[in-house]
A and B are shown apart, each in its own frame.
Chain A
Amino acid sequence: MTARVYIPADSGALAVGADEVATALVAAARRRNVVLDLVRTGSRGLYWLEPMVEVETKAGRIAYGPVGADDVEGLLDAGLLQGGGHALRIGRPEEVPFLKRQTRLTFARCGITDPLSIADYRAHGGFVGLERALALAPAAIVEEVVQSGLRGRGGAGFPTGIKWRTVLQTDGAQKYIVCNADEGDSGTFADRMIMEGDPLVLIEGMAIAGIATGASKGYVYIRSEYPHAVAAMAAAVAAARREGYLGPAVAGSAHPFDIEIRVGAGAYVCGEETALLDSLEGKRGMVRAKPPLPAHRGLFGKPTVINNVISFASVPIILSSGAAFYRDFGMGRSRGTMPIQLAGNVKRGGLFEAAFGLTLGELVDDIAGGTASGRPVRAVQVGGPLGAYFPRALFDTPFDYEAFTARDGLIGHGGIVVFDDTVDMARQARFAMEFCAVESCGKCTPCRIGSTRGAEVIDRIRGGEEREANIALVEDLCNTMKLGSLCALGGFTPYPVMSALKHFPEDFGASPRLAAAE
């Protein structure tokens, strides 16, 4: 008999033993004279169930997890390949509440298809957006993206279509499409999952951007911490080129477009778009002053679209289903869906793509199921190392760009890191300062020096030295950093620091009343 089995090759699944499970399964099947058709997929994003094994049955796919290599014999005995009963049997993955509650637009194929198979990609709706784009005039493609309401998913939330329009309207013989795959924020892995699990959707999105703006060359700048994503993207680019989706005539059209993969070198600040461009040019990753905008003078001084991985990967569905379809999801000025990443001390960690508007409490308590440690949730950092710490009292905040800004926070790239009641918030505030000091590009004094000073002063507070005066000094430093920094590294480090001070003053030895009155 032949049996089709799916096991993720996503690095999150590999980190908990997916390769060992695959090896054990192949060996056991051979001993039993079963021919296995093993497909390595991306991850569904249900990481607490990884390594997850799915088998094709008459009733659709049946999942098992988390599977260890030593579970394999028992699973086969229980009839794994027919979807038989076992303690690890999950049933149909689509019925797992964590997945069932999602709206998977950008991640529709992730965890389902073979990431490098063009045929599989096409069979699941791939390249329909590109074909529609090829039938439109560039300005009409741009208009579709504008109308969808898509905002940049890298952090700043700038409307993607407006950026594309600027590049379209800027003259230039050579223009570039640059994909920001630096994903440096702790608690985020959506870019990594797409690049490993559905790289062709990113390639399709970038090709559409090229056609829309008149750019023929694209770069994907991937952080070096993601070797598996680098390999998957390189293989997917080669596959797309072989099948004519990249190259001198994209999908047989008159548009040339090709993509090159570049690897970062461990500098967080290179996620900032202008520092990234400098780095791509072969320089130190220094932040540039704006203007000029990258749309006018970007990579090598040429008009450049620079967008996050998820921004590009959301474009194919916008083109294939239409701007109105996408815009109908969400709330206020936050349209469409957001891949939210539930991370850290959570019972159910993973990727949760949903329309904007769920509250922080729903996400942390209901969907993530509280902490992995079983202790009470005390603080939640949203939006990476430059994002604010939220206490339970603010769990009614809806996941929406403006709602988070109104509460002195940001949603950033959509990462949520949960901490239980053992967390020391003064230590977290110190870490924020230390991280800024380590990663500062060095251009602005408040960022470079202020963060080092900030870490020292917080050490003194933690040591019980002149608490009131030193807390005032930290607040002062934060103000200087906010006002005197060119980019959000120096400018937003005050968010985690100030939110820790404001919502958790007891960890700084301050009287709660004093800090709250501030």
Chain B
Amino acid sequence: MPSPSWSKERAEAIIEAHRRREGAALPILHALQEAFGYVPEDTVPLIAEALNLTRAEVHGIVTFYHDFRHAPPGRHVLKLCRAEACQSMGGDALAEAAQARLQAGWGETTGDGSLTLEPVYCLGLCACAPAAMLDGKPVGRLDAKRLAALVDGARR
């Protein structure tokens, strides 16, 4: 997982690397999040200046997209699918079990900072439902037991 502390120099280098691309905003925001784990509020004016936009416009873009975090995540990120195909295989109960086990709601991080739980609406794994993604690794055919083993293994 990326280091949660951000630096202005690194942010500027990232912005500089992408600013000349057509429609550069999303590539920049993705690259910032990849580096820092979230999009630090203090990068908004830097992006605005580089892309010749107002701060309000950049803020509007960052907040429009569900992907961009406004605070650093835990060491691991579990995205649990909440969409229909996973619902049909007990996804709702699985989500409740996950929240209870982690003591964290959607978008929240466990008390020990080890894992952030995020909702996702379909991972394209609908024939292996219920499905999730742990740090970018897909997992399917989940049940409460497999999920518990998965998160416990990651948090150890």
A188 touches B126 (CB 8 A): yes
- Given the known A-B contacts A265-B26, A265-B65, A344-B129, are A381 and B123 also in contact in the complex, defined by CB atoms under 8 Å? no
Stretch at the interface among A10-18, A205-213, A465-473, A487-495: A10-18
Q: Which of B59-85 contact A (CB under 8 A)?
A: 60-61, 64-68, 79, 83-85
Report Cα–Cα, A419/B30, bound state, in Å: 36
Q: Which of B96-152 contact A (CB under 8 A)?
A: 120-129, 131, 133, 136-141
Contact of B88 among A191, A264, A419 (CB under 8 A): A419
Report Cα–Cα, A385/B141, bound state, in Å: 21
A189 touches B126 (CB 8 A): yes
B124 touches A344 (CB 8 A): no
B131 touches A15 (CB 8 A): yes
Interface check A228, CB cutoff 8 A:
yes
Residues in A whose Cβ lies below 8 Å from that of B24 = 282
Report Cα–Cα, A411/B24, bound state, in Å: 35
Report Cα–Cα, A282/B65, bound state, in Å: 12
Stretch at the interface among A179-187, A246-254, A311-319, A455-463: A179-187
Contact of A279 among B26, B60, B66, B137 (CB under 8 A): B26
Residues in A whose Cβ lies below 8 Å from that of B123 = 11, 225-226
Residues in B whose Cβ lies below 8 Å from that of A350 = 127
Interface check B153, CB cutoff 8 A:
no
Interface check B4, CB cutoff 8 A:
no
How big is the B interface, by class?
Answer: 35 or more
Report Cα–Cα, A488/B69, bound state, in Å: 28
Residues in B whose Cβ lies below 8 Å from that of A225 = 79, 120, 122-124, 133
Main secondary structure of the interface of A (DSSP, over half): mixed
B121 touches A15 (CB 8 A): no
Interface check A345, CB cutoff 8 A:
yes
Report Cα–Cα, A371/B128, bound state, in Å: 13
How big is the A interface, by class?
Answer: 35 or more
Interface check A420, CB cutoff 8 A:
yes
Residues in A whose Cβ lies below 8 Å from that of B128 = 12, 15-16, 47, 50, 349
A15 touches B140 (CB 8 A): yes
A349 touches B126 (CB 8 A): yes
Contact of B124 among A226, A417, A435 (CB under 8 A): A226
Residues in A whose Cβ lies below 8 Å from that of B129 = 343-345, 349
A385 touches B84 (CB 8 A): yes
B30 touches A263 (CB 8 A): yes
Residues in B whose Cβ lies below 8 Å from that of A415 = 85, 126
Which residue from chain B places its CB closest to the CB of A183 in the assembled complex? B124
Q: Which of B35-91 contact A (CB under 8 A)?
A: 51, 60-61, 64-68, 79, 83-89
Please indicate which of the listed interface residues B68, B123, B139 has the most CB atoms of chain A within 10 Å of its own CB: B123
Contact of B141 among A16, A183, A300 (CB under 8 A): A16
Report Cα–Cα, A264/B122, bound state, in Å: 14
Please indicate which of the listed interface residues B124, B128, B140 has the most CB atoms of chain A within 10 Å of its own CB: B124
B126 touches A263 (CB 8 A): no
Residues in A whose Cβ lies below 8 Å from that of B137 = 14
The 3 closest A-B pairs by CB, nearest first: A349-B127, A282-B25, A15-B140
7 sampled A-B residue pairs with Cβ under 8 A? A189-B124, A225-B79, A266-B67, A300-B22, A343-B127, A381-B84, A420-B88
